[in-house]
Amino acid sequence: MPEIYDVVVIGGGPGGYVAAIRAAQLGMKVACVESRAALGGTCVNVGCIPSKALLQSSEKFAEAGHALAAHGVKIEGVALDLKTMQARKDKVVGENTRGVEFLFKKNKIGWLKGTGRIAAPDTVEVTLAAGGTETVKAKSIVIATGSDIVRLPGIEIDEKRIVSSTGALMLTDVPKRFVVIGAGYIGLEMGSVWGRLGAEVTVVEFLDRITPGMDAEVARNLQRILQKQCFTFKLGTKVTAAKSAGKGVTLTLEPAAGGAKEELVADVVLVAVGRRPYTDKLGLEAVGVALDDKKGVKVDGQFRTNVASIYAIGDVIAGPMLAHKAEDEGVAVAEILAGQKPHIDYDAIPAVIYTAPEVASVGKTEEELKAAGVAYAVGKFPFTANGRARCNGETEGFVKILADAKTDRVLGVHIIGAEAGTMIAEAALALEFGASAEDIARTCHAHPTLPEAIKEAALAVAKRSIHI
């Protein structure tokens, strides 16, 4: 007789493992199918965690190399030990994946180690990593299979010279010439890592701007700052071919609108043109689960697919492909299965780019408000006028708050500056609570801190900043 569960979650990433834990907390009998050798999904194994570990280490190397002298800290003979840096990153990943495994044991969640296929609306067949198959029954199935990289036609990823983000996290030498195809957050973060360690970084982007979807003013500032670092941008340009020869890769570039070709030689090329929902070999067609126009799993507001017992969350459904969005959906789907009525405010999901400085945003951009015909007021405050930013020697960037012109309700907050990713939490809370700019302006902020710039930007909405 197959084992019978209340819920079987397919995929052990931040969406899936959080759904499994919350469902277990709510008293359900839960199993999670994960094909990787470690839990945690893309995020913990080859995404958020290893990239942030390398960003942290490479930032320390860059600081030791040239940023500390201005503080009166002189270091001579700074040298890179990439092997140790990579080993540290692997250790951090291991601590996190083992952490998820511990949480599974604590919550009595069964980890079915292998690849899951939905054989029927109440049946999951697992091709076990150790060999053989196991079939389990479930009252509800949650698809949390995440996403995979988008490939470019004619450009074969070998994970050595032409790499995806996964290969870019594992390089054993610093490339002299590192070319990134795609100016999204993954390309800019990996470009930052290898640039800080000594690579010349060229980013080739089809569009005429970087970081599509980000507030355009912030994106322009980020581009300008990155150009002062190790970055060269070739915008409005497409890569039409990549040929590996000898120790390098020769890329053929063309203007996006067509025109004369040029060649660009690289030691390593990172293809970072986006990610796609991953539903391969899940058996969705046979069981009749409908997909949306982006080949993601189609769900309603309660994460239900068109098949009554099957739900989906995270990168495999529509919405921003972010770990915290997947986690919140994991909690929500488990609570829905338990008969509760959770709600996610998709307008209050922050997004962060961990470059130096960081960029973080929540809510609407100016472009989105204009397109929607919403009248808004802008409050801005630069970090050059913030005392703590001066103390820290990190004065680049600004805070920008967009508030409804009539009601003063905060509609969007955009921060470019040191610690922006940490500071955006205050703004997300403000949006979640439906705060006005005045609410933020009248909230006492500790001095001297970087978040005082948020308060000043809120004051600036009503044109009454104090410190500028």
Active site residues: 447
- Beta carbon of residue 115, minimum distance to ligand FAD (angstroms, whole number): 4
Residue 326 lies near ligand FAD (rule: CB under 6 A):
yes
Considering CB under 6 A, how many residues would be counted as binding ligand FAD?
A: 34
Closest CA to 330 of 103, 112, 152: 103
Site for ligand FAD in 365-424 (CB under 6 A): none
Which letter, b or e, does each residue of 129-165 get, where b requires 16 or more Cβ atoms within 10 Å of its Cβ? eeeeebebebebbbbbbbbebeebeebebeeebbbbb
Site for ligand FAD in 130-169 (CB under 6 A): 144-147, 165
**Cβ nearer to ligand FAD, comparing 316 with 440:** 316
Closest CA to 177 of 144, 155, 203: 203
Site for ligand FAD in 88-117 (CB under 6 A): 115-116
Site string for ligand FAD, 164-193 (x = CB under 6 A): -x--------------------x-------
**Look-up: residue for tokens 């053989």?**
132
Give the binding range for ligand FAD (CB under 6 A) out of 45-53, 72-80, 84-92, 444-452.
Answer: 45-53
Which letter, b or e, does each residue of 359-371 get, where b requires 16 or more Cβ atoms within 10 Å of its Cβ? bbbbbbbbeebee
Residue 123 lies near ligand FAD (rule: CB under 6 A):
no
Site string for ligand FAD, 15-44 (x = CB under 6 A): xx----------------xxxx----xxx-
Residue 48 lies near ligand FAD (rule: CB under 6 A):
yes
Sign of the Cα pseudo-torsion (439, 440, 442, 446, in order): positive
Site string for ligand FAD, 49-78 (x = CB under 6 A): --x---------------------------
Terminal CA-CA length for the chain: 72
**In this chain, which of 125, 315, 335, 394 binds ligand FAD, going by CB under 6 A?**
315
C-alpha distances (whole Å) from 311 to each of 2, 8, 124, 249, 453 are 21, 10, 13, 43, 42
**Cβ nearer to ligand FAD, comparing 25 with 127:** 127
**Cβ nearer to ligand FAD, comparing 117 with 380:** 117
- In the 8-state DSSP scheme, what is residue 304? B
In the sheet that holds 351-353, the strands lie side by side as 351-353, 358-363, 410-417, 398-404, 376-382
Residue 361 lies near ligand FAD (rule: CB under 6 A):
no
Tokens of 13: 């990433």
**Cβ nearer to ligand FAD, comparing 16 with 357:** 16
Report the distance separating Cα 225 and Cα 394, nearest Å: 12
Alpha-carbon dihedral angle through residues 52, 266, 154, 270, given to the nearest 10 degrees: 0
**In this chain, which of 11, 184, 195, 363 binds ligand FAD, going by CB under 6 A?**
11
Report the distance separating Cα 266 and Cα 269, nearest Å: 6
Beta strand 147-149 with 275-277 is antiparallel
**Cβ nearer to ligand FAD, comparing 146 with 182:** 146
**Of how many residues is the chain composed?**
468
Give the binding range for ligand FAD (CB under 6 A) out of 13-21, 72-80, 172-180, 371-379.
Answer: 13-21
Residue 322 lies near ligand FAD (rule: CB under 6 A):
yes
Residue numbers at the binding site for ligand FAD (CB under 6 A): 10-16, 33-36, 41-43, 47-48, 51, 115-116, 144-147, 165, 186, 278, 282, 314-315, 321-324, 326
